[in-house]
């Protein structure tokens, strides 16, 4: 082949390559993976940037456009297990992601079964496996390159977030936490109310704490137990149920104050954000779990302490025992006046 023929062939090849392919370097590929209680969520997208543009939606992306939130190939999202997105069940699998952007109405998010589409191959949003409304918010912070993220991660889900420029959309994502969190109201009613609680069996001695902390009173553990040592036994606690979430809370003010002392620095005003929840296990037994801001934040079903209730002939709980996974007694409780 002559040199001129080679040059002509190369020029023709370049002319046939889509412009978006040659622009790959300006919208680089990104991946995001997060595991939540055994469910893996993966997002793959190319990241366009503002590059001096102040208005994207309604200009570069016209109102009413069905747009993949990314660049180049369609953005994809995958779930290793079934999830619930903004109240809509989504089967496990991999989907391409599309948004219909609207000026004065909620945007529409669509998950499409075809994950091989190019960003310009807008599928009919009605053909999607899932399509649902999503509120668009305007932020003070400007996100230069389009960002996907999972925010406010919890044991049972997170918020799926896309942010570009000043526009931000967020959808609640629910996953199977592997353990029931909510207790039906009728079941919970038997254990609710005021109790006298004695956690003496689980309390270490001051000598044990001093050995652990080296006698440093500023150590967070030392601050925690200094508060705990100051509480009387038995003490009043309260068990209540959150009507919105169905979660039963074990409200122990002394433990909350001790947690606040642990996480607050010297001279800081303690903030009580940690607590405990009771997760139903059946037969009057509950697993004890940590909470953060009233949300269940940590529980290991195989290692969590178990609280077992005793009931009177009318089905009302009158006493309880807290046991470790080794069956050691960690605390006991009784109704006041019994």
Q: What is the pLDDT of residues 54-78, one digit of tens each?
A: 889 999 899 999 999 999 999 999 9
CA distance 135 to 85: 14
Q: Is the pLDDT of residue 12 over 60?
A: no
Q: Is the pLDDT of residue 200 over 70?
A: yes
Q: Is the pLDDT of residue 305 over 70?
A: yes
**Residue whose pair of structure tokens reads 């109201």 in the numeric block:** 185
Share of the chain above pLDDT 90, in %: 74
Of residues 225 and 268, the one with the higher pLDDT is 225
Alpha-carbon distance values, 224 to 78, 196, 261 (Å): 42, 21, 6
Query: Which pTM does this prediction carry?
Result: 0.77
Binning pLDDT at 50, 70 and 90, where does residue 292 land?
confident
CB 274 within 8 A of CB 256: yes
How would you classify the pairing of strands 157-174 and 193-198? unpaired
pLDDT score at 25: 52
| Run of H or E residues at 77 | strand 76-79
pLDDT score at 54: 85
pLDDT score at 272: 67
Looking at every residue in the chain, the average pLDDT score rounds to 89
pLDDT score at 11: 40
Q: Is the pLDDT of residue 251 over 90?
A: yes
Of residues 4 and 42, the one with the higher pLDDT is 42
Q: Greatest CA span in the chain, whole angstroms?
A: 104
Structure tokens at 33: 């993976």
pLDDT score at 277: 96
Q: Give the start-to-end residue ranges of the domains of the chain.
A: 3-174, 185-334
pLDDT score at 266: 64
Q: Is the pLDDT of residue 53 over 80?
A: yes
**Residue whose pair of structure tokens reads 């209730």 in the numeric block:** 309
In DSSP terms, which residues pair with 278 in a beta bridge? 248, 288
| Run of H or E residues at 19 | helix 19-22
Binning pLDDT at 50, 70 and 90, where does residue 297 land?
confident
- pLDDT tens digits for range 26-51: 789 999 999 999 999 999 999 999 99
Share of the chain above pLDDT 70, in %: 90
pLDDT score at 23: 42
Q: Is the pLDDT of residue 7 over 80?
A: no
Q: Is the pLDDT of residue 9 over 70?
A: no
DSSP count for the chain of H helices, then E strands: 6, 20
Which of 18-27, 132-141, 311-320 is the least confident region?
18-27
Of residues 8 and 24, the one with the higher pLDDT is 24
Binning pLDDT at 50, 70 and 90, where does residue 270 land?
low
Binning pLDDT at 50, 70 and 90, where does residue 338 land?
confident
Structure tokens at 107: 């945007």
Give the residue-averaged pLDDT of 300-314: 92
Q: Is the pLDDT of residue 4 over 50?
A: no
């Amino acid at each position: 082949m002559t040199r001129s023929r080679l040059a002509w062939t190369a020029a023709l090849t370049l002319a046939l390559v889509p412009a978006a392919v040659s622009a790959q370097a300006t919208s680089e590929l990104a991946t995001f993976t997060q595991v939540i209680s055994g469910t893996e969520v993966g997002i793959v997208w190319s990241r366009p940037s503002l590059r001096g543009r102040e208005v994207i939606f309604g200009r570069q992306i016209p109102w009413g456009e069905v747009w993949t939130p990314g660049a180049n190939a369609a953005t994809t999202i995958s779930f290793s297990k079934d999830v619930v997105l903004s109240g809509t069940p989504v089967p496990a699998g991999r989907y391409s992601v599309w948004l219909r952007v609207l000026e004065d109405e909620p945007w529409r998010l669509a998950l499409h079964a075809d994950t091989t589409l190019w960003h310009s191959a807008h599928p009919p949003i009605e053909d999607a496996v899932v399509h649902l409304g999503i509120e668009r918010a305007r932020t003070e912070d400007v996100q230069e390159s389009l960002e996907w993220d999972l925010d406010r991660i919890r044991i049972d889900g997170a918020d799926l977030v896309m942010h570009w420029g000043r526009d931000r959309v967020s959808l609640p994502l629910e996953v199977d936490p592997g353990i029931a969190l909510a207790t039906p109201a009728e079941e919970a009613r038997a254990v609710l109310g005021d109790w006298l609680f004695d956690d003496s069996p689980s309390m270490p001695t001051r000598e044990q704490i001093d050995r652990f902390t080296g006698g440093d009173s500023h150590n967070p553990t030392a601050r925690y137990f200094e508060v705990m040592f100051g509480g009387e036994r038995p003490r009043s606690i309260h068990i209540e149920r959150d009507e919105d979430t169905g979660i039963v809370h074990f409200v122990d003010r002394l433990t909350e104050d001790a947690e606040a002392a642990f996480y607050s620095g010297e001279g800081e005003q303690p903030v009580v954000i940690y607590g405990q929840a009771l997760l139903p296990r059946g037969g009057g037994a509950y697993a004890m779990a940590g909470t953060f801001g009233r949300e269940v934040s940590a529980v290991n079903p195989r290692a969590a302490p178990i609280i077992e209730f005793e009931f009177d002939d009318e089905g009302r709980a009158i006493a309880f025992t807290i046991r470790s996974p080794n069956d050691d007694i960690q605390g006991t409780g009784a109704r006041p006046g019994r």
